[in-house]
Structure formats: C-alpha cells, structure tokens
Amino acid sequence: MTFFPEPLSWRSPRVLAPSLFLLCLGLLPAVTAAIGEPFYVTLAARIVIFALAASGLNLVLGYGNLVSFGHALYVGLGAYVVGILSFHGVTSGWAHLAATVALSGLVAWITGLICLRTSGMAFIMITLAFAQMFYFLGVSLKQYGGDDGLQIAVRSDFAPLSIQSNTGLYYLSLALLLATLYLSWRFVHARFGRVLRGAKSNVRRMRVLGFPVLRYQVAAYAVSGIICGVAGLLLANLTRFASPAYMFWTVSGDLIVMVMLGGIATILGPLVGATVYVILETTLAGYTQHWMLILGPIIVLIALLAKRGLYGFLIR
C-alpha cells in the first residue's frame, strides 16, 4: 500500500510559510553582504547546523517516541573526526564525511541495539550514559587537547566545492539541511516511517502484525546518529574547533528543546525551533551573562501557548 499525501495549494500556510522562510535563508548571504554585516552569515550557519542535528533527533523523538538524551554524542563524534584527521594531515572533506558517516552509523547502531532493548526512563538513562562515557573519553585524549579541545587549522577541503569562507560553509550546510528535510518527508510517508509511527502508538500491536519493530527502530536510530554526526562535522568546520563539550548532556537537552519548541513530529519544526532558540540565546547573551534565567521562562511560555510547537501554531 502506497501513501500519497494530499496535494496542497501554494496559498496554503503549509506551503507558503515554509517557502518564504527557506527563500529568506537562501538570500541571507546576499542581504548581509549588501548591508555589511557578515556576522549574520555565521549566526545563520550555526542555526542551520543545529537545525540539521535537531532534524536527526526528530526522526526518533518525534516519529518513534524515543526520547534520547545522548544525541550530542554523535555531534561530538563528527567534530572529532574532522579534528583528529586534520591533526594527522588529512584535510579532504570527502574523507572526513565518509569517516563521519561510518563512525556515527556504527556507534549509533551498536548503542541503539543496546538502548532499544529498554524503554521509557531506562532508555533515556542509557542514552545519557553512553554520551557521558564518550564525553569523558574525549576529556582523556590528552594528545588531542583533552578537556581544552582541539584547534583545527584549516577547514575541510570539499574540492571542487569550497567552504573556506563562511558563505561557502553556510550554503553547504543549507543544502545538506534541505536534503535531510526532503528525505525525512519521504521517510515519514514511506512504509518504514509508518511502521515507526505505528510502534510509537502501540508496539505490541505492530509486533503481532508481524513487523520486526526493533530492526526498524535500530535503523532509524542509526540514520538519526549519522545526521547528527554530519552536523558535528559542519560545526567543527564553523568553529574550527573540536571539544568534548559538544558531547555533554546539555547539548542533547538543547536539541530536545529545539525539537519541542519548533514542533515535534513535524518536518520543519526542528528548523523553526533551532532558529528561535539560537536567536534568543544570542540576543539575550548580548545583554546579560545570566541569559538562561530569561530564556527559560520564555521557552515555558511558548510551550504553554503553542502546545504543538511554533511551527504547528503558525500553520493552524
């Protein structure tokens, strides 16, 4: 049985609002160059990279009801792949990407097989434990900076593409995000996504129907880890730095907040959530070092007023 989503008019908020938003993202470097404010390109790149990581988390959190507090692990793995390979003289971006996909996918598959034997609070705690284990592993790598992190001299070389400028990195990140959003949409409306959503509603019933639920969940978890790993690769190139802090549990918490803020189980929700979260964080941090005391109540207020997230609120 094939699922065909209902066609939408271009005047529909579900089409018009995302199209305008994505158009603004595409034109942003040209606008910032015209007004002489290159900082906004760096800010937008950070938004897009975190939106990519949040989209990866949304696959398992939004559509599989798998609350993972360990996805910062894969962000950190992607960053350290760039840092360690660059440290040893390997600057090819394609090699970095291949190693990131392989390592993130392998670690996510192995940890997923273990974590998904449990559910509920046990699942949350085990994912958190794995992330913290790799965090302390990063701290112990004294050769690669240990707790101080690892400086990256030059960005990855994606010849014939160039990401040596922030604009080039931004457009690469945006292209990867758009590809991820499209593939997520196809994933959700395919048999695989419907099985995952069915398990979210009633795991026992899906098993009785003959679906190998664990296999589907592990595969989704591995894909989610790979997406977060690629986001980590881009983040390391943006900051030219790899740090164990990227794997700390608070980063996983930030990704969960972005997904919930934008709209859980929606394709564009993570992008909206990452945009609002990063802009609020950057703006408030410019006024006070106690910005988290202000950001917290704002997030609570948004969660109370827009229970389906900001994106769900906007398209209603």
Q: What are phi and psi of 125, to 5 degrees?
A: -70, -35
Query: 267-279 pLDDT, tens per residue?
Result: 889 999 999 999 9
Asked if residue 3 has pLDDT above 50, the reply is no
User: Tell me, what's the pLDDT at 305?
Assistant: 80
Measured between alpha carbons, how far is 212 from 1 in angstroms, rounded to an integer? 18
What mean pLDDT comes out for the span 299-304? 83
Measured between alpha carbons, how far is 223 from 54 in angstroms, rounded to an integer? 13
Average pLDDT, the chain: 89
Query: 77-92 pLDDT, tens per residue?
Result: 999 999 999 999 999 9
Query: 32-55 pLDDT, tens per residue?
Result: 888 888 889 999 999 999 999 999
Measured between alpha carbons, how far is 310 from 316 in angstroms, rounded to an integer? 10
Band of residue 4 on the pLDDT scale cut at 50, 70, 90: very low
Q: What are phi and psi of 249, to 5 degrees?
A: -65, -25
Sequence ranges of the domains in the chain: 38-248
Asked if residue 290 has pLDDT above 90, the reply is no
What percent of the chain is predicted at pLDDT more than 70? 95
* b/e burial code for range 215-250 (CB count within 10 A of at least 16 → b): ebbbbbbbbbbbbbbbbbbbbbbbbebbbbbbbbbe
Query: 248-269 pLDDT, tens per residue?
Result: 999 999 999 999 999 888 888 9
**Cβ atoms within 10 Å of 18's Cβ, excluding its own:** 18
